[in-house]
Amino acid sequence: MIDFALEAEHLMVEKLVRDWAGQKIAPRIQELDRAAHFDRSILAEMAELGLLGLCIPESYGGAGMDYISLGLACEELEYVDTFLRVILSVHVGLNSMTMMAWATEEQKQHYLVPQARGTKLATYALTEPNAGSDAVGIQATARRDGTDYLLNGEKMWISLADVADHFITFAWTDQEKRAARDHAGITGFILERGMPGLTTGTIHGKLGIRAGNTGFLSFNDVRVPAGNVLGEPGEGFKIAMFALDQGRYTVAAGATGLVRACLDASVKYARERHSFGQPIGQHQLVKELIADMSRNYEASRLLYQRAGWMKNQGLRNTRETAVAKWYACDASEKAAADAVEVHGAYGYSDEYPVERFYRNCKAAVIYEGSREIQKLIAADYALGYRVDRPMRAGLPSYPFSG
């Protein structure tokens, strides 16, 4: 039997996040967005709610909820603003879930536990000024120096770069493999703010997600203990791709929330605004725009929840997550553009939220693998060019043991 009903704990998470974001953040979001101000006090509130360790087992300081709960939380957060969902994407999806799968027990105790409790903030740094979709094109290097590594390079477009405490990053440790573009020469590392040679900064002038923090990292002979290698040397590329699977799931769920936000705003405006003697919602072409939003919301929600269900079962879901991310981000981009159309001239002003939705939606089409990357993944699975192989590490199925 297929059961599409949410469990009681899912409904509880959904309501908890909806109430908090709607009551505490929604009234302030226009102000935060206009000022391009990242309010760090919001992190403490999210930690108090258990959101920063939502799907991390209780044994590691988390709330012990399932992966569908994470998706629901991301949907509700992005319904209010994308920057809220981004926090969960990088802190939980890209970093903590990757730690949960690949870190040693010692690393989990030192890094994952405080992250799950919300006392430390974490992010993920793969992209560089000249390497985005082409992850093998990264230039950062780490050479062995006794029992340590000396890390050099730069990372760009990193969410929470200037506020995070912990970082997962990647660098070449084998120069022969680098010359051959063999990804087995890339290694993952765990860094901490305060390591000598590690500096961060904030990027200004972004089109959207202005209430969030996006920045860069610079590595100048950062001395990283060998004990801070994540996984084994040479596994960095595999770990990076694993992390992106988790990040894509949260992005898909968040984009679904943005579609719903566009739909709700458009329905409200279409009922209130009159033209030619009747509400504009009575006009057929306005109905068409709203119908598309409604359809795409339902489809996006089903796609990300299927991926979440697969995570709960401990099943590989790279294909399903890629499709969910691709579809939901496309849907959010169309919904935001259509919502501006519904609002007419007012859609071009931040007097209404759809202007912000329109600016925010574009980034998700690009990060965690662009639309084109998701298309290639889907095509390669369909053509049989890509087949899932056993991985050395993976997420625990739900319910968590221990």
Q: What are the domain boundaries of the chain? A: 8-121, 124-237, 244-383
Distance between CA 202 and CA 156 in Å, rounded?
10
The 8 Å CB, 24+ separation contacts for 5-13 are 6/68, 6/72, 9/65, 9/66, 9/69, 10/68, 10/69, 10/72, 13/54, 13/65, 13/69, 13/72, 13/73
Distance between CA 220 and CA 342 in Å, rounded?
50
Overall average pLDDT of the 369-378 stretch: 94
Distance between CA 257 and CA 85 in Å, rounded?
10
Q: pLDDT grade, residue 402 (50/70/90)?
A: low
Say which DSSP state 6 is in. P
Mean of the per-residue pLDDT values of the chain: 96
**Within 13 Å, how many C-alpha atoms sit on residue 344's CB side?**
8
Quick: pLDDT tens for 43-71. 999 999 999 999 999 999 999 999 999 99
Residue of 302, 344, 349, 345 whose CA lies nearest to 323: 302
Distance between CA 84 and CA 61 in Å, rounded?
21
Q: Please provide the CATH number assigned to the domain covering 244-383.
A: 1.20.140.10
Residue 272 has pLDDT above 70, yes or no: yes
Distance between CA 181 and CA 265 in Å, rounded?
48
Q: Please provide the CATH number assigned to the domain covering 8-121.
A: 1.10.540.10
Residue 3 is predicted with a pLDDT of: 82
Overall average pLDDT of the 212-238 stretch: 97
Sequence-ordered list of residues with C-beta below 8 angstroms from that of 204, at least 6 positions apart, any chain: 36
Residue 243 host element (H or E) = helix 236-272
381: exposed, middle or buried (Cβ count in 10 Å: 0-12, 13-18, 19+)? middle
Residue 1 is predicted with a pLDDT of: 64
Distance between CA 155 and CA 125 in Å, rounded?
6
Are 100 and 396 within 8 A, CB to CB?
Answer: yes
Higher pLDDT, 1 or 274: 274
Residue 83 is predicted with a pLDDT of: 98
Token pair for 60: 């590691």
Q: ω into residue 399 within 30 of 0, thus cis?
A: yes
DSSP labels, 65-107: --HHHHHHHHHHHHHH-HHHHHHHIIIIIIIIHHHHHHS-HHH
Strands 148-159 and 141-145: antiparallel
Sequence-ordered list of residues with C-beta below 8 angstroms from that of 375, at least 6 positions apart, any chain: 326
Overall average pLDDT of the 279-308 stretch: 97
Token pair for 318: 């790279």
Residue 96 has pLDDT above 70, yes or no: yes
Integer CA distances (angstroms), 270 to 162, 281, 288, 351, in order: 41, 5, 12, 16
Distance between CA 267 and CA 273 in Å, rounded?
10
Residue 365 has pLDDT above 80, yes or no: yes
Residue 401 is predicted with a pLDDT of: 77
Q: At what angle do helices 284-313 and 67-80 cross, to 10 degrees?
A: 150
Residue 4 is predicted with a pLDDT of: 86
Residue 285 is predicted with a pLDDT of: 96
Q: pLDDT grade, residue 353 (50/70/90)?
A: very high
Active site residues: 368
Residue 374 is predicted with a pLDDT of: 95
Distance between CA 397 and CA 394 in Å, rounded?
9
Are 232 and 391 within 8 A, CB to CB?
Answer: no
Percent pLDDT > 70 in the chain is 100
Distance between CA 283 and CA 273 in Å, rounded?
11
The 8 Å CB, 24+ separation contacts for 266-274 are 266/290, 266/293, 266/338, 266/339, 266/342, 266/343, 266/354, 269/342, 269/343, 269/346, 269/352, 270/342, 273/344
Residue 60 CB coordination number (10 Å): 23
Under CATH, what is the fold of the domain 124-237? Butyryl-CoA Dehydrogenase, subunit A; domain 2 (2.40.110)
